Chains A and B, each alone.
Chain A
């Protein structure tokens, strides 16, 4: 009982940390990491409420498995779009050395 509650509260704290990070950080990759940390917190709440003493509820496990795969698909789609925007030339003022070109 206490173990389940412990990990549920850890999950809530992870959601809070991720929410703060996703709003406060400016770099796109850090924002994505923060959103993924929120996802980890949600999975943790799901899995810790799935334990009922001796028996373990398999349904939240299946939902979390689906969630992990969808999360990586969403993350890679975001990264790809960000790279496409980057290649279009928005907000890129960084200097490129002459020997790099």
Chain B
């Protein structure tokens, strides 16, 4: 049933399933879908017990946006472990490639280096000059309003990643990820989260229970660190894929 995986597009028309297999597969999956739909229609709607509980305790969380309260206070284990998962992916992908694409041209002693030798489109540069400060501003705004309105660490981190991706795609800037400063930026979210948890364990006796009067400030600081880390990790995933050498380079003698 599971065919050999094809990585090259010119070959992907071969190795396809026969029509009969496809029909059988479609039949099985439609039965599954109908069963799932029937289960959804027939099962009674659950009572919103947990939602009422969470909205009741919103005043104790230090923020006014219920989603931020759940993410950073009531269920902060989720967020802590999620940043850990992101860091594991980043560590996996940080294996140095022996033939990095821009290695010869770019300065690798700095985290973000400018490479003037490469051709850069002038209109793109002019656009980025406006777009990048605006993106950073939007990211900060989303982080700050996450306490009251929709927004928060994930959204701010995603917008900041977008800024970095625009910078990397434009071709003039080059990121180097094996330096100490880059590693610090990648891990600062997890470090801040674990330090905060340890501090809470010493102060209140329970690992992730914040003192109520400082909860808003603690959440903002942890969110700031998490934003920087999430943005850096997602940007690293992008640049590591970009930095892999091309097919033609492998075939060079």
Which residue numbers of A lie inside 8 Å of B, CB to CB? 1, 5, 8-9, 12-13, 15-16, 19-20, 23-24, 26-28, 30-31, 45, 49-50, 52, 55-59, 61-63, 65-66, 68-70, 72-74, 76-77, 79-80, 82-87, 89-94, 96, 100-101
- Which of A16, A45, A69, A101 interacts with B30 by CB under 8 Å? A16
Distance in angstroms between the alpha carbons of A90 and B74 in the assembled complex: 48
CB distance from B232 to the nearest CB of A (A): 13
Q: Chain B residues in contact with chain A, CB under 8 A?
A: 1-12, 14-17, 22, 25-26, 29-30, 32-33, 36-37, 40-41, 45-48, 50-52, 54-55, 66-67, 69-71, 74-75, 78-79, 82, 85-86, 89, 92-93, 152, 154, 230, 233-234, 237-238, 240-241, 244-245, 247-248, 250-252
Q: Which residues of B contact A92 (CB under 8 A)?
A: 7-8, 247
Q: Which residue of A lies closest to B7 (CB)?
A: A86
Query: Contact at A59–B54, with CB atoms within 8 Å?
Result: yes
Instruction: Find out whether the CB atom of B50 lies under 8 angstroms from the CB atom of A26.
Output: no
Which of B6, B40, B250, B251 is in CB contact (< 8 Å) with A26? B6
Q: In this complex, what residue of A is CB-closest to B26?
A: A20
Q: A59-B51, A77-B92 are in contact. List 19 more A-B contacts (CB 8 A).
A: A16-B30, A19-B32, A26-B6, A57-B51, A58-B51, A62-B75, A68-B154, A69-B154, A69-B230, A70-B82, A70-B85, A70-B86, A73-B233, A80-B244, A82-B5, A91-B8, A92-B7, A94-B11, A96-B251
- CB contact between B36 and one of A12, A69, A84 (< 8 Å): that residue: A12
Residues from chain B with Cβ under 8 Å of A59 in the complex: 50-51, 54, 70, 74-75
Q: Which residues of A contact B244 (CB under 8 A)?
A: 80, 83-84, 87
**Contacting A27 at CB < 8 Å: which of B9, B37, B47, B70?**
B9
State the main secondary structure of chain A at its contact with B: helix
Judge whether B5 and A26 touch: CB under 8 Å. yes
Number of A-B contacts (CB under 8 A): 161
Closest residue of chain A to B14 (Cβ to Cβ) is A26
Choose among A69, A87, A89 the residue that contacts B82 (Cβ–Cβ < 8 A): A69
Which residues from chain A contact B50 at a C-beta distance below 8 Å? Answer: 57, 59
User: How near does chain B come to A51, taking the closest CB pair, in angstroms?
Assistant: 9
Interchain nearest-CB distance for A91 vs B (Å): 6
A73/B85 in contact, CB under 8 A: yes
Say what secondary structure dominates the interface of chain B. helix
Q: With A24-B22, A56-B51, A80-B240 known to touch, is A69 a contact of B250 (CB < 8 Å)? A: no
Q: Is the CB of B89 within 8 A of A5?
A: no
A57 contacts which of B5, B10, B15, B48 (Cβ < 8 Å)? B48
The residues of B that contact A96 with a CB separation of less than 8 Å are 247-248, 251
Taking CB atoms, residues of chain A closer than 8 Å to B245 are 87
- Rounded to whole Å, the gap between the CB of A56 and the closest CB of chain B is 7
Q: How far is the CA of A82 from the CA of B6 in the complex (A)?
A: 10
Closest to B89 in A: A73
CB closest residue in chain B, given A75: B237
Q: B82 — which chain A residues lie within 8 A by C-beta? A: 66, 69-70
Q: In the complex the two chains form, what is the Cα distance from A65 to B223 in whole Å?
A: 14
- A100 surroundings in chain B (CB, below 8 A): 248
Chain A's closest residue to B245 (CB) is: A87
